[in-house]
Every structure is written in C-alpha cells, then in structure tokens.
Amino acid sequence: MNQQHTDERARIHEAMDRLLAGKATASNGSLTVVALAAEAGVHRMALQKRHADLKNEFYERVRKETQQVPESEKRLRETVAKLRKTLANKEAELQELRQLVTNLTLASAVLTQGTHAPTGTVPAPDNVLPFRPPTS
C-alpha cells in the first residue's frame, strides 16, 4: 500500500468514529456511506471500490454500536418483501391460468368430439340450437 492509500484509510477510520459519536464536521451526520465519504474527504466510489472492507466495517459498527439497521439495508429489505409478494401473486396467477387452459382444452375436446358423433343418436332438447346447421 502506498502512503496515499494508508492516509485515506486513516481518514475513513477517523470519520467513522466521528459519525458514530454524533460529532460530524463535514457531512450531515447520517449513518450512510455517502456521509462517511464526505466526512472522510474521499470520493464515494473510492470508498465503495478501494475500501469496501471499511464500508462493511462501518455498517457492522453501525449495527453494533447504535443498535439500528443501516438505511440501505432497510430499503433492500423493503424491496425484497415487495418482490416476494409480487412473485407470490404471479405464481397464483400462473396456477389460475394453467387451470383455465386445462378447462378450455377439455371444453374444446368435448365440443370437437360432439361434432363427429353421428346425427340423430342423441336427441337434442328443444331449447338447444346447433352452431352449424346439420349437413344433408
């Protein structure tokens, strides 16, 4: 590691301590990666890419020291819950459509089978009209 990398890591650790103590100087004090990056004076993507271990450490400390779940994790959990609900609805709809296809296939088979039956074997009730006129 070069000196710049080591300095960035030290600044990030100091920024973590300030944010968790509630003594933010360069950010809004929220317990997010954006606030941590602003507090440490590093670019957010540097924190996400080069110092991912420190980002994870920060979120772990937030969980342990403040007994709260990070905001990004809350949003992800909400999204997962919505997606699970959507998936369950889609599964129910798919099952319903499969049943409908089965019923329509059976109805089609019955109707098709009825057209090949010899005429006159089963008398039709008076209130039933055939789809096609009988062929002579």
Say which range, 29-33, 34-38, 69-73, 106-110, has the weakest mean pLDDT.
69-73
pLDDT of residue 113: 79
Query: Which pLDDT score is estimated for 88?
Result: 95
Residue 99 pLDDT = 95
pLDDT of residue 92: 95
User: Shortest CA distance to 54 belongs to which of 46, 74, 76?
Assistant: 46
- The pLDDT score that the predictor gives to residue 48 is 85
pLDDT in tens, 69-106: 777 778 889 999 999 999 999 999 999 999 999 999 99
Separation of alpha carbons 2 and 18, rounded Å: 25
Claim to verify: residue 59 and residue 36 sit in the same structural domain: yes
Domain span at residue 91?
71-106
Q: With pLDDT > 90 as the criterion, what percentage of the chain qualifies?
A: 21
Q: Which two tokens stand for residue 75?
A: 């949003």
Is a pLDDT exceeding 60 seen at residue 121? no
Q: Supply the pLDDT for residue 24.
A: 84
Neighbours of 12 (CB within 10 A): 23
pLDDT value of residue 32: 85
**Dist CA 90 CA 82 (whole Å):** 12
Query: How many structural domains does the chain have?
Result: 2
Structure tokens at 114: 């009825």
Amino acid at 30: S
Give the Cα separation of 55 and 32 in Å (integer).
9
Residue-level length of the chain: 136
Whether 42 and 89 map to the same domain: the answer is no
Final residue in a domain of this structure, among 44, 68, 92: 68
Q: Are residues 100 and 62 in the same domain?
A: no
- Pair (29, 57) in one structural domain: yes
